[in-house]
Structure 1
Amino acid sequence: MRISARADYAVRAALELAVRQGDGTVKAEEIATAQDIPHKFLEGILGDLRRGGIAVSRRGGGGGYRLAREATEITVADVIRAVDGPIVSVRGERPTELSYRGTAEPLLPLWIALRAGVRRVLEGVTIADLATGTLPETVQLLAAEPASWTNP
């Protein structure tokens, strides 16, 4: 599975909004600078986050962006879906829309299991978890495995 630059930037932008939640709205330029994200690219991402119900915006001199709801209610999966669509797809299709015949039949449950595992991790981590640096124990255990840090 690949995490796109768009998804990475979107999670970083949501995280930046979470840590600045008490400051009111945050300008796109401030997020871009703080997270080293190209400003024009970020504008499109923030638009997707707004349309996806993750962020809200206000125009004008005191305008900017803020989270649409509490950071404890927004998962990493929510953010990724807002900018990239389904979490796991095969050839651009959702695994449940696929069918295989013959020797390829075991692929479908494999793709479904992969999607379930990825969902379990990404839906189990909120933007608030990231903002406080307190990842769920299941994620910490996975990350603590030495094999998790190596490329075969």
Structure 2
Amino acid sequence: MRISARTQYALGAMLALAEAGHPVHAERIAVTQEIPRRFCDNILLQLRRAGLIESQRGPEGGYWLARPPGEIALADVIRVTEGAEPAARPFPRAAAPLTEIWARLRSHEDALLSEITLADVITSNGAVRP
């Protein structure tokens, strides 16, 4: 699996919101997560449109998670930023068994990333449960 910079930034922004537990301004997210400001704004808009975060304008506003961190899996964020990965084209002849292996690999990846929530990451101190 290849993870784009957009996805890395989105995960960082989501974890910052999960850790904060209150509305956070985009500027603060951009600075603390070292995300270029315009890129951060675009990512936050994408996450809001997907229903993962909510926002409010003004001095008391900002961005916050739409659901508790324990209900948002890493896979939820990755699907928003990366989209659904297309199925691999079938391998020909002697390599044909690789088609099934790649499908199983993607299935395992998705299962693992669907099990790990934002809450798991912020409480793990680097040791995510198996």
TM-score normalized by the length of structure 2: 0.89
| Aligned: 1:126 with 2:106 | no
1:106 aligns with 2:97: yes
Map of 1:94 onto structure 2? 87
| Post-superposition offset of 1:137 | 2.8
Q: Match for 1:52 among 47, 50, 53?
A: 50
Query: Percent identity of the aligned residues?
Result: 43
Matched, 1:31 2:32: no
CA deviation string 1:23-79 (max 9, x = no partner): 3x1101000111111111111111111112211111223221000000000001101
Q: Which runs of 4+ in 1 moved over 4 A?
A: none
Once the two structures are superposed, the pairs formed by residues 10-29 of structure 1 within 5 Å of their partners are 10-21=10-21, 23=22, 25-29=23-27
Q: Could you tell me which residue of structure 2 aligns to residue 71 of structure 1?
A: 69
Query: Does residue 2 of the first structure (1) align with residue 2 of the second (2)?
Result: yes
State the aligned residue count: 129
Q: Work out whether 1:117 is the aligned partner of 2:115.
A: no
> Structure 1 length as normaliser, TM-score?
0.77
Mark the runs of 5 or more structure 1 residues left unpaired by the alignment. Answer: 139-152
- Residue 27 of structure 1 contacts residue 63 of structure 1 at CA under 8 Å; is this kept in 2? yes
Higher relative contact order (CA 8 A, sep 6+): 2
